[in-house]
Structure 1
Amino acid sequence: MNRRIFTLLAALIPILVLGAVGSVVTVPFVALGPGPTFNTLGEVGGKPVVDVQGAEVDPTTGNLNMTTVSVRDGLNIFEAVGLWLSGEHGLVPRAEVYPPGVSRDEVDKSNKQDFKDSEDNAELAALRYLKMPTVVTLRSVSDDGPAKDALRKGDELVSVDGKPIGTVQDLLTAASETTPGTTIAVVIRRDGVEQTVEVTVGARPDDAEKGYLGITPTEAPAGTLEVDFNLSEVGGPSAGLMFTLALIDKLTPGELSGGKFVAGTGTIDPEGKVGPIGGIQYKMIAARDAGAETFLVPAANCNEARQRTPDGLRLVRVETLTSAVDSLDSIKAGKDAPTCEG
């Protein structure tokens, strides 16, 4: 009997040790997988995801869903293996998501700034696509820059050194053409009142012969139009394309989705160029599970996407905002659209 007990204990001890180690020891990996999706034409927390004020909004139905990737950190051995075996998650070294020497808070802050930039780019890309007027305003003024005593965050720029300012590029050109050390007149509109202030131009840090004002400009809608994006706890730049499409859909007659369930991903710049993103395979799974029939894929992600396409999901290749709108119009009319097959 004692020998049997000893044999049983000898067999159980390694199992108990393995179980204890597997449930306590964390692995240097994070799990990536399908994250939540949000209909950019819908609401979240009782507010429109894309809220348009000061302009007539066309009624919309259907879905234009943005997609996300979930990140699970602090995994023990059993959790990591279980997620990997699920087939819907992948394991990557933790350093790829949270680089050494960079705190998690810093990574999260950077992701949130990327998301905010994607909102600004989406708004501007939509306005340019629709040929709606914009104004140049100041997002920030450097505390130690040449304009710190003359300009404020929120000022609208009318002209710089006599040159009219209609776009951010107009401002960059006007500033760079001024001679460092000279004092110039800057016409602004502050609180609805136009006024002129003087700024002594500094030298650009990377080129001492070009002028520098120490301001960060952005473009905003002219007139009464206001756009707010009401998603929190989401980071990264990849919602840009879907935000842009939602804004265009709300400001134009008809429905881009044709009342269907369309999802997608992709960065966007103010000129409407669609850029690649990470985690395409997980975003496609999330879209399919949510009910999407069509998925908009940045052209640069097509090779990866077509190798992992979930059953029943049509992939549409997009390179620009114009190509995305044209493809949705074609699908709505029952015609073919460019795919990731060529």
Structure 2
Amino acid sequence: MRFLPPSAWSPRTRIAAVCAVPVLALLGTAAFAPLPFSIARPGSTVNVLGDHQGKPVISVSGVESRRTSGQLRMSSIIATGPRAEVGLADVAGDWFRTDRAVMPRDSVFPPGKSDKETEERNVAEMTKSQESATRAALDYLHRSPKDVKVTLRLADIGGPSAGLMFALGIVDKIDGDGRGGDLTGGRTIGGTGTIEPDGSVGPVGGVPLKVQAEGRDGAGVFLVPKKQCAEAEAELPKAMRLVPVTDLRDAVESLKALSSGGRVPSC
């Protein structure tokens, strides 16, 4: 191939070459400059019927607490922090991975907040979620909070998305399936969803990653807010059964039906 020296280039070629220089410089800078994204991946799961860091996740007093079998596992995701530098190479490398999610940083971390303020917000959301889960579960069981005290310990995982699983754990600890058996039927049940004091279940973020985390840790069933069925199905492990829920009552009824061989809703 023959290359002409710049002196032999046409005026149009010279103009194109001059214009290309800043474009290439911009692309080179973008390749190394931090971008406003956060990269998330499947996090840990915790059995709310068991222990965490040497202490029971759920403790009940004022009523006899049942010994349970099976597991009710809440799930989490791990995201790069608000001060982590995420570059073009990171985004390009993780964009098409099914076990990663590239999200706007502001959708994960509130803008203008320090790391401490963000952590405090997450802890506050978890505390509120635990309070709502307790109220929803005791109301479902027709128990008075004046007579039954519930203590929830899971302080190192923030956010409100474990609410549904906390509520189900309280129901299982106190009443099981209502017939002397376990609400889980001895299975490992995963799930996610916020919960309100009236028992309604709301959507959460990172559902595809949470499904993967639960499958990795042995869950054969995953409870998901009904409106997020499509998100969960996108990365559903082959052996996992997906069960949509709208409130605590239908979540309990679905688990009872699963144990008894009854009709269980599907997405």
TM-score, normalising length from structure 1? 0.64
Shift of 1:119: 0.3
Deviations 1:182-233 (A, max 9, x none): xxxxxxxxxxxxxxxxxxxxxxxxxxxxxxxxxxxxxxx213x321111122
Describe how 1:93-242 pairs up with structure 2 within 5 A: 93-133=104-144, 221-223=145-147, 225-242=148-165
Q: 2:62 aligns with which of 49, 54, 60?
A: 54
Local SS of the residue matching 1:336:
coil
**1:293 corresponds to which residue?**
220
> Aligned equivalents of 1:335 and 1:287: distance in 2?
24
> Aligned equivalents of 2:100 and 2:86: distance in 1?
15
**1:245 corresponds to which residue?**
168
Deviations 1:256-309 (A, max 9, x none): 110001010111111111111111111101010111000001112123223332
Residues 242 and 265 of structure 1 are in contact (CA less than 8 Å); yes or no, is this contact kept in structure 2?
yes
> Aligned equivalents of 2:230 and 2:97: distance in 1?
23
**1:87 corresponds to which residue?**
98
**2:252 corresponds to which residue?**
325
Larger gyration radius, structure 1 or structure 2:
1
Residues 98 and 104 of structure 1 are in contact (CA less than 8 Å); yes or no, is this contact kept in structure 2?
no
Residues 29 and 91 of structure 1 are in contact (CA less than 8 Å); yes or no, is this contact kept in structure 2?
yes
Q: 1:70 aligns with which of 78, 81, 104?
A: 78
For the pair 1:29 / 2:40, whether they are aligned, the reply is: no
Local SS of the residue matching 2:126:
helix
Identity of matched residues, % = 40
TM-score, normalising length from structure 2? 0.81
**1:151 corresponds to which residue?**
none
Task: Provide structure 1 residue ranges, at least 5 long, that are not aligned to the other structure.
Answer: 1-17, 134-220
Aligned CA distance change for structure 1 residues 87 and 305 (closer, same or farther; 3 Å): closer
Shift of 1:45: 1.3
Aligned CA distance change for structure 1 residues 118 and 99 (closer, same or farther; 3 Å): closer
Matched to 1:274, the amino acid is V
Shift of 1:105: 2.4
Residues 50 and 227 of structure 1 are in contact (CA less than 8 Å); yes or no, is this contact kept in structure 2?
yes
Deviations 1:146-193 (A, max 9, x none): xxxxxxxxxxxxxxxxxxxxxxxxxxxxxxxxxxxxxxxxxxxxxxxx
> How many pairs were matched up?
234
Tell which deviates more after alignment, 47-56 or 62-71: 47-56
Shift of 1:104: 2.9
Deviations 1:53-108 (A, max 9, x none): 33211110111001111111314435444444542001112122223323332222
| Greater strand content | 1
Local SS of the residue matching 1:69:
strand
For the pair 1:269 / 2:196, whether they are aligned, the reply is: yes
> Aligned equivalents of 2:42 and 2:163: distance in 1?
18
Local SS of the residue matching 1:30:
strand
Task: Provide structure 2 residue ranges, at least 5 long, that are not aligned to the other structure.
Answer: 1-26
